[in-house]
Amino acid sequence: MNSSLVGNQSGRPFCLLAISYLETINFCLLEVVIIVFLMVLIISGNIIVIFVFHCAPLLNHHTTSYFIQTMAYADLLVGVSCLVPSLSLLHYPIVLSESLVCQIFGYVVSVLKSVSMASLACISIDRYIAITKPLTYNTLVTPWRLRICILIIWLYSCLVFLPSFHWGKPGYHGDVFQWCANSWNTDPYFTLFIVVMLYAPAAFTVCFTYFNIFRICQQHTKEINERRVRFSSQDGEAGEAQPCPDKRYAMVLFRITSVFYILWLPYIIYFLLESSNVYSNRVASFLTTWLAISNSFCNCVIYSLSNSVFQKGLKRLSGAICASCARQRVAKDSSTSRSKRSSNGCHV
């Protein structure tokens, strides 16, 4: 029987946050509010991102749009998967055993976030190639190669976390389940395996590529401004400093990457500390986990606020929705007026 549904021996529900328990409510109120709130934000935000990409063809001109859309779909699935712990906390009956449910939930969310992490690393590589090899970029980065790369990202993410079912807990995504919190322990060797195979390579790739991207952009900006000043002085006109156009787009992607690692850093640190038996706390486990999961909503917010083409696509989508609503309202009003005229004619 699902132990989280039954609760502990005192009859109280299993709650990671003690302040969430109220005598008049027989479920974990604060946990449910946090998870449902994040779930609504993540699902709605990423659905908007996906629709905007389909409504704004200019966004698809960038090869990075393949990876951005992959992240959006992965983040959307994260939001959908959050329905599992929220239903468990609300004491909805679960057909499968609690141990299997929490293992599957932890595995699925770990895979989806691995896809986001690997996609961010691939985006940084793509921008690095675009800046360092601009003449051969279109021949090196082709649509079918990008699709193969995305397929490899999904397969690799599925495989790297597959040993978690027998080796140890991949993270703290399932700790809302009592079995996951009490019986599913982390293994230091599995933690080291995840760090070596995923966290460290992705972080190193992002740091290396963006450091060189900004260094090269700074050098290009300096050269362009020197040439502009030289030619403008010959023509007698004052030259203005012009930033590197690639740097603007790189800054958008760099913000997304930075927020990703900022939100995931507490989770990774706690993951390492708990695996090493240095520190373990259920409240810290819950907060760091769902802080990391909140990144699935932050991606679409940063992209919508930073990318001008995305903003135009969002306005186009909202305009189309408003126009559709207006047409439906006009059609409804016209049908209502016709029905009134016909009814008045019958009474004459």
pLDDT given at position 148: 93
Flag whether pLDDT at 336 surpasses 70: no
pLDDT at residue 172 tops 70:
no
Of all residues in the chain, what percent carry a pLDDT higher than 90?
6
How far apart CA 225 and CA 303 sit, in angstroms, is 29
| Secondary structure (3-state) at 89 | helix
Mean of the pLDDT values across residues 144-157?
93
6 pLDDT more than 50: no
pLDDT band (50, 70, 90) for residue 318: confident
State the pLDDT at residue 10. Answer: 43
pLDDT digits (tens, 9 = 90+) for 36-82: 888 888 998 888 888 887 776 656 556 777 888 888 899 899 888 87
pLDDT number for residue 319: 72
Q: Is the pLDDT of residue 197 over 60?
A: yes
Higher-confidence residue: 347 or 116?
Answer: 116
Whole-number pLDDT of residue 91:
62
> What pLDDT shows up at residue 300?
72
Does residue 115 have a pLDDT over 80?
A: yes
Question: What is the average pLDDT across 226-252?
Answer: 62
What are the tens digits of pLDDT across the range 288-298? 888 888 888 88
Is 22's pLDDT higher than 70?
Answer: no
Lowest-confidence segment of 139-153, 161-175, 310-324 by average pLDDT: 310-324
The pLDDT, as a whole number, for residue 348 is 41
Contacts of 38 (CB under 8 A, 6+ apart): 79, 82, 290, 293, 294, 297
Is the CATH number of domain 22-226+245-314 1.20.950.20?
Answer: no
Q: How far apart are CA 332 and CA 315, in angstroms?
A: 25
pLDDT at 158 over 80: yes
pLDDT at 157: 93
Of how many residues is the chain composed? 348
Task: Give the pLDDT score at 4.
Answer: 38
Q: How confident is the model at residue 93 (pLDDT cuts 50, 70, 90)?
A: low
pLDDT tier, 135 (very low <50, low <70, confident <90, very high otherwise): confident
* 335 pLDDT higher than 70: no
pLDDT at 159 over 90: yes
Over residues 269-296, mean pLDDT: 82
Decide if pLDDT at 205 tops 60. yes
Contacts for 161-169: CB closer than 8 Å, 24+ residues apart: 161/107, 161/110, 161/111, 161/114, 161/194, 162/107, 163/190, 163/193, 164/103, 164/106, 164/107, 164/110, 164/190, 165/103, 165/107, 167/193, 168/275, 169/106
pLDDT at 7: 41
High-pLDDT (> 70) share of the chain, %: 68
Mean pLDDT of the chain: 75
Is the model more confident about 339 or about 43?
A: 43
**pLDDT band with cut points at 50, 70 and 90 for residue 242:** low
What band does 2 get if pLDDT is binned at 50, 70 and 90? very low
Predicted pLDDT at 308: 64
Q: Of 299, 312, 274, give the one whose Cα is nearest residue 117.
A: 299
Q: Are 113 and 174 in contact (CB under 8 A)?
A: no
DSSP 199: I
